[in-house]
Amino acid sequence: MSAIQGKVWQVIGPVVDVFFPLDEKNEFKLPPINNALSVPLDDGKNLILEVQQHIGENIVRTVAMDSTDGLRRGLKVDDSLRIRILKTYQEILVFGAPQARLAPPPNVREKTAQAPLYIGG
């Protein structure tokens, strides 16, 4: 399976839109939702992006797993990783290494222990 290559189309904070042009068979191919994309940066590091949405016109909306400082339009984006990002309540795992901590879900008993709200007339 060949790698899908795209380019950074738009950067708005941690949200990065990526455009994927025609492949060698003149077909449009987009990476699946939750796939990890890699963007090589000028400092030698790779920025990992998680595909969140296919927004049309061969563009996917992604969320950066690190700071987008230095990211600019036109940079090459590579889908050769073929890795899905697994989410748990405790941490986000990419390549088996924790990237960010998430708060656990609220305790259901704490929510139901409050006095009920009565609406009437």
Q: Which CATH class is domain 5-112?
A: mainly beta
- Side-chain-side CA neighbours of residue 98 (13 Å): 7
Q: Where are the beta strands (DSSP E) in 5-111?
A: 5-12, 15-19, 36-40, 46-56, 59-64, 76-78, 86-87, 91-94, 97-101
User: Given this model, what pLDDT does residue 70 score?
Assistant: 86
Indicate the DSSP class of residue 84: B
The residue extents of the domains of the chain are 5-112
Cβ neighbours for 121, distance < 8 A, ≥ 6 positions apart: none
Residue position matching structure tokens 């950066």:
64
pTM: 0.67
How many CB atoms are located within 10 Å of the residue 82 CB? 12
- What string of pLDDT tens digits covers the 121 residues of the chain? 467 899 999 999 999 999 999 877 878 889 988 888 999 998 888 899 999 999 988 999 999 999 998 899 999 999 876 666 655 544 455 544 444 444 555 554 444 445 555 555 4
User: Given this model, what pLDDT does residue 96 score?
Assistant: 44
User: Given this model, what pLDDT does residue 28 score?
Assistant: 80
* Distance, CA of 1 to chain centre: 22
